Amino acid sequence: MKNRVEVASSKFLEGYNCAQSVFYAFCDDLHIDRNLALKLACGFGAGMGRSQEVCGAVTGGIMVIGAKFGRGEKDDRKATELTYRKTRELMERFGKKHGVVICRQLVDECDFSTEQGQKEFKEKDLIHKTCLPCVESVVEILDDIIFLFP
């Protein structure tokens, strides 16, 4: 049986985006339908719809945190505070490991909205050099902050 890092990596290399791959890896733990998870996370890839803002792997991780700890209809504000704390932890640890959380900075300013930027991204093999390691590290961080620390 694959661990969550392997599941996320495999999904990413199948062509799903970074946010989808991270969120998908936690579906069984969260009791979320896999197809629904892929659809919900789809718009968050490439820094939110190729806008290259916060890394899609990170936003996929924030979705995992929200699904696990977020405030629902019958929950009090403590759930919000816990979710915010874990979100900050994810972002801080990711930023410490990768230097930044902003997609465009992670991918050397390749502009995903242009054909030239997408070509440059492929030529530099940033999918393997940058994006795959980001997906893997978000899953590893989530494994710590979700399952090790209350």
Q: What is the pLDDT of residues 7-30, one digit of tens each?
A: 999 999 999 999 999 999 999 999
Task: List the alpha helices (DSSP H) in 70-114.
Answer: 77-98, 103-106
- Measured between alpha carbons, how far is 90 from 61 in angstroms, rounded to an integer? 8
Q: Which phi and psi (to 5°) does residue 102 adopt?
A: -90, 125
- Measured between alpha carbons, how far is 94 from 10 in angstroms, rounded to an integer? 20
- Measured between alpha carbons, how far is 120 from 97 in angstroms, rounded to an integer? 24
- Measured between alpha carbons, how far is 123 from 106 in angstroms, rounded to an integer? 16
**What confidence category does residue 1 fall into, taking pLDDT thresholds of 50, 70 and 90?**
low
pTM, full prediction = 0.94
Which residues, listed in sequence order, are joined to residue 102 by a DSSP beta bridge? 54
Cβ-based burial of 25 (10 A; exposed 0-12, middle 13-18, buried ≥19): buried
What letter would DSSP give residue 147? H
Q: Which two tokens stand for residue 139?
A: 């899953």
Q: What is the pLDDT of residues 76-134, one digit of tens each?
A: 999 999 999 999 999 999 999 999 999 999 998 999 989 999 999 999 999 999 999 99
User: Helix, strand or coil for residue 92?
Assistant: helix
**If you write DSSP's letter for every residue of 3-40 in order, what string do you get?**
-HHHHHHHHHHTT--HHHHHHHHTHHHHT--HHHHHHH
Q: What is the predicted pLDDT for the residue at 119?
A: 93
Q: Which two tokens stand for residue 100?
A: 């930044």
